[in-house]
Amino acid sequence: MNKNLPAEYQRFNVTERLQHVILLVTFLVLAFTGWALKYPEVENSKWLVHLWGGAKTAGIIHRIAGITMLMDFVWHVLYMGYMLGTGKMKLRMTTTVIPLPKDILDMMKNISYFIGLSKTKPQFGRFTYAHKFDYWAVFWGMGIIGLSGLFLTFPVQASYLFPSWSVNWIWEVLFVMHSDEALLAIVFILFFHFYNEHLRHHNFPMSMSWITGKISIEDMKHEHPLEYELEFGDKGADK
């Protein structure tokens, strides 16, 4: 091991980790309290709702968790604005979470590698295209599920905002938005996020980054070579 290199790299600070924990707790609570309402005709739904103390209580918990999640999201956006605005976080091609044309190329290259068309894996920066997909999916979800959820929580107040030509169908649309996109979010998290952060061989049973915020230098070198290069390129070079 190179003496100039630390053993670990601080990937996420405490604010970012806290935002993630709030997001994950509220997400699970929302999924478990809301699921039954999507499939009320299924017998197990009654049992699931019973766990939360009945349909009424489950509804109240769902609303509280939803508003908490939205506030967490607003906090994150303000925080990102602050970090970028004050220059504490710098916009760089290799570390930004903003999707770039390179991500499309990375994805095509990665899939080529999976199926054996290419012998080399793409070189990722701080965030791979899968991470970016994960991250922006939350933004999409907040817009679609969060906004429709707010409207459904305050239907009378929301009705004042809607134009009169929309009132005959807007509620159906809002409900479909809320419930179908929630299903999408749940399947996405269960499948994509859980596979990437829990089941990939080096992450099993889970990547500890969400608690410690740290990643080992070895993992960083393999998973995020471009960011590694940016941070430690000159130090690592004299290996």
Partner 1 sequence: MRRLLVIAFLWFPLLILSGSASADTFTCLACHSAMKGKIRTERNVLIDVNVDSERYASSVHGGFDCIMCHKQFQSDPHEPAKIGDVPQNIAALAHRLSSKAETDPVALAACAECHGEVYKAWQESVHGKNIMDKRQADGADCLDCHGSPHYITSKNTASSMVNRKNIVATCGECHENKHLAEKYGLGDFIIERYDESFHGKKYLLGHPNVPTCVSCHNSHGIKKWDDPASPVAWENRTVTCGKCHPGATRKFVAAITHKPYGKDNPIPYYFQKGLIILLFGVFAFIVGHVFLEVFSEIRDKVFRKEKEEHHE
Q: Applying CB under 8 A, which of residues 51, 78, 98, 111 lies at the interface with partner 1?
A: 111
- Cis peptide bond prior to 205, omega within 30° of 0: yes
Q: Which is nearer to partner 1, 82 or 162 (CB)?
A: 162
Alpha-carbon distance of 31 to 36, in angstroms, equals 9
Is 221 a residue that touches partner 1 (CB under 8 A)? yes
CB of 237: closest distance to partner 1 in angstroms?
Answer: 15
CB of 13: closest distance to partner 1 in angstroms?
Answer: 28
Q: Which is nearer to partner 1, 32 or 72 (CB)?
A: 32
CB of 66: closest distance to partner 1 in angstroms?
Answer: 15
3-state secondary structure of 8: strand
# residues near partner 1 by CB under 8 A: 51
Alpha-carbon distance of 125 to 131, in angstroms, equals 11
Alpha-carbon distance of 173 to 157, in angstroms, equals 17
Q: In terms of C-beta density within 10 A (0-12 exposed, 13-18 middle, 19 or more buried), how is residue 216 classed?
A: middle
Q: Are 213 and 111 in contact (CB under 8 A)?
A: no
Is 45 a residue that touches partner 1 (CB under 8 A)? yes
Is 130 a residue that touches partner 1 (CB under 8 A)? yes
- For residue 216, the cross-strand partners are 8
Build a one-symbol-per-residue string for 63-102: x at contacts with partner 1 by CB under 8 A, - elsewhere.
----------------------------------------
149-208 residues in contact with partner 1 (CB under 8 A) are: 152, 155-157, 159-160, 162, 164, 167-173, 175-177, 180-181, 183-184, 187-188, 191-192, 195, 200-201
Q: Applying CB under 8 A, which of residues 8, 16, 218, 229 lies at the interface with partner 1?
A: 218
Our measurement of the distance from residue 171's CA atom to the centroid of its chain's CA atoms, rounded to an integer in Å, reads 27
167 phi and psi angles, rounded to 5 deg: -70, -20
Beta-carbon contacts of residue 2 (< 8 Å; ≥ 6 apart): 235, 236, 238, 239
Q: Which stretch in 20-28, 72-80, 83-91, 111-119 sits in contact with partner 1 by CB under 8 A?
A: 111-119
Look up residue 67 and give its amino acid: I
Q: Are 116 and 81 in contact (CB under 8 A)?
A: no
Q: Which is nearer to partner 1, 17 or 38 (CB)?
A: 38
- For residue 10, the cross-strand partners are 214
- For residue 8, the cross-strand partners are 216
Binding site for partner 1 (CB under 8 A): 1, 36-37, 40-41, 45-46, 49, 54-56, 58-59, 111, 113-116, 130, 152, 155-157, 159-160, 162, 164, 167-173, 175-177, 180-181, 183-184, 187-188, 191-192, 195, 200-201, 218, 221-222
